[in-house]
């Protein structure tokens, strides 16, 4: 034992190296069979070598021999892994997601509890209106949904720059009947970037940012559902990419704001239980919901004296509206919107003309100082589709002349 401990730890060279058992014929056959079976792993490939090899030889894809058959019958899974060629680049697995940036690392990631009682915890997301072509600038819908009440709001933006995103959030926050306590987007860079986070910290310091966990779309389940049941339900998958389409769509969203929050009831899940399989049916998740109520009624049920006057005013506004006529007005406005032409190739759109409050952004005022804008008469709606290019002097220019 002492002699062994005092000896060298290096492995002595073999007196005679083992020869290769599987030669080029096996390597070539493995490559053909592997490609034929869509580059599956060696553990799944090994049991199918003989049957697949014989079938390929029958169709002239492989040269078969008794020696090759014997080798494929005895080769182990680990040997297959050593003898397979590198996987083609187009067949390699997708690269792992990039690690969170410094903004994502500083923001907690979780799902807002469905039973949260206080209003103001909003899920937020973007809906793309690019049609079948994602090239160039096009319209997005910024949509927010409150977890406690189901209250929702939408704003159309042209592109995803900081200015249009900040302007949309300012407009939406002012439109809501209660303050935003939490803003919960996914991990998109349009929400989690230095400019927008600094804007929120400066303008709305009481709003806490949070985010969904990467790869967990159900963390934003309410807004994801309304992306389809509201935005896609009304607009479909068509492309929108001009200033006039953006501005007119926002007038429609003002109507949808009242229609969905005042009249359309929403369900709120209160429990879910896994039901095990039986002889009569498969296992399933049983979900229980409360009684359907409109977001306005859920807002009134909060029993918060601070919201009493505002809730009463909105109930009076609802009593003065005809929901059927409001729906007809929305459908008519959508037909109007869809009649506008899309941008011509090479045509440049001025996103500053889509802002709700350009005065809040000095760069927007500077860009619009001597620029003509789309026509927006006293009715608040752009001109009819027969004259979409009619222009007037900018309202900012008129202010300066006064």
Q: State the Cα–Cα distance between residues 183 and 146, nearest whole angstrom.
A: 10
Nearest-10 Cα torsion for 234, 237, 238, 242: 80
pLDDT for residue 326: 94
End-to-end CA distance of the chain: 104
- What pLDDT, on the 0 to 100 scale, is given for residue 95? 66
- Rounded Cα distance between 293 and 299, Å, is 10
CA triplet 361, 366, 367: central angle to 5 degrees?
100
Alpha helices in 107-242 (DSSP H): 162-175, 194-203, 221-226, 233-235
Question: What distance in Å separates the CA atoms of residue 22 and residue 57, rounded to the nearest whole number?
Answer: 19
Q: What is the pLDDT of residue 392?
A: 36
The CATH number given to 100-266+301-402 is 3.30.420.10
Q: Write out the chain's pLDDT in tens, 402 residues.
A: 676 777 777 777 777 666 678 889 999 999 999 999 888 889 999 999 999 999 999 999 999 999 999 999 999 999 999 999 988 877 666 666 667 677 788 899 999 999 999 999 999 999 999 999 888 999 999 999 999 999 999 999 999 999 999 999 999 999 999 999 999 999 888 898 888 999 999 999 999 999 999 888 889 999 999 999 999 999 999 999 999 999 999 999 999 999 999 999 999 988 999 999 998 889 999 999 999 999 999 999 998 899 999 999 999 999 999 999 999 999 999 999 999 999 998 888 989 899 999 888 887 777 666 555 555 455 555 554 544 443 333 333 333 343
Domain with CATH 3.30.420.10 in the chain: 100-266+301-402
pLDDT for residue 394:
37
367: Cα within 13 Å, side-chain hemisphere: 15
What is the C-alpha R_g of the chain?
31
> What is the DSSP secondary-structure string of 278-340?
-SSS--EEEEEE---B-HHHHHHTT--GGGHHHHHHHHHHHHT--HHHHHHHHHHHHHHHHTS
> How far is Cα 132 from Cα 340, in angstroms, rounded to an integer?
18
**How many distinct helices (H) and strands (E) make up the chain?**
17, 9
pTM metric for this prediction: 0.70
């Amino acid at each position: 034992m002492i002699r062994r401990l005092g000896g060298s730890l290096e492995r002595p060279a073999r007196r005679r190296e083992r020869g290769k058992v599987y030669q080029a014929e096996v390597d070539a056959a493995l490559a053909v069979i592997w490609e034929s079976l869509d580059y599956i792993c060696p553990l799944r490939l090994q049991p199918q070598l003989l049957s697949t090899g014989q079938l390929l030889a029958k169709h002239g894809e492989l040269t078969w021999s008794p020696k090759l058959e014997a080798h494929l019958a005895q080769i182990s899974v680990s040997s297959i892994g050593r003898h397979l060629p590198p996987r083609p680049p187009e067949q390699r697995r997708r690269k792992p997601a990039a690690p969170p940036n410094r903004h994502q690392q500083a923001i907690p990631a979780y799902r807002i509890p469905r039973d949260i009682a206080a209003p103001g915890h909003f899920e937020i997301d973007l809906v793309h209106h690019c049609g079948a072509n994602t090239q160039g600038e096009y319209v997005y819908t910024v949509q927010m949904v409150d977890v406690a009440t189901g209250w929702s709001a939408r704003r159309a933006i042209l592109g995803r720059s900081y200015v249009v995103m900040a302007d949309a959030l300012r407009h939406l926050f002012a439109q809501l009947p209660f303050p935003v306590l939490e803003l919960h987007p996914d991990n998109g860079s349009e929400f989690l970037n230095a400019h927008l986070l600094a804007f929120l910290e400066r303008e709305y310091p009481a709003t806490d940012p949070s985010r969904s966990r990467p790869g967990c779309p159900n963390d934003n389940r309410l807004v994801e559902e309304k992306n389809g049941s509201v935005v896609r339900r009304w607009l479909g998958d068509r492309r929108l990419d001009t200033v006039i389409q953006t501005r007119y769509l926002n007038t429609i969203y003002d109507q949808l704001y009242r229609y969905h929050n005042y009249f359309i009831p929403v369900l709120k899940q209160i429990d879910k239980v896994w039901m095990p399989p039986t002889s009569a049916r498969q296992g399933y998740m049983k979900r229980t919901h409360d009684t359907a109520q409109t977001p306005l009624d859920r807002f009134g049920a909060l029993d918060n004296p601070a919201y009493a006057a505002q809730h009463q005013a909105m109930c009076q506004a609802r009593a003065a509206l005809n929901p059927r006529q409001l729906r007809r007005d929305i459908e008519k406005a959508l037909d109007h919107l869809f009649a506008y032409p899309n941008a011509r190739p090479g045509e440049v759109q001025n996103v500053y003309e889509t802002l709700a409050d350009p005065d809040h952004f000095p760069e927007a005022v500077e860009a619009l100082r001597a620029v003509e804008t789309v026509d927006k008469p006293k009715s608040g709606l752009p001109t009819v589709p027969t004259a979409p290019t009619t222009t007037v002097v900018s309202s900012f220019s008129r202010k300066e002349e006064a």
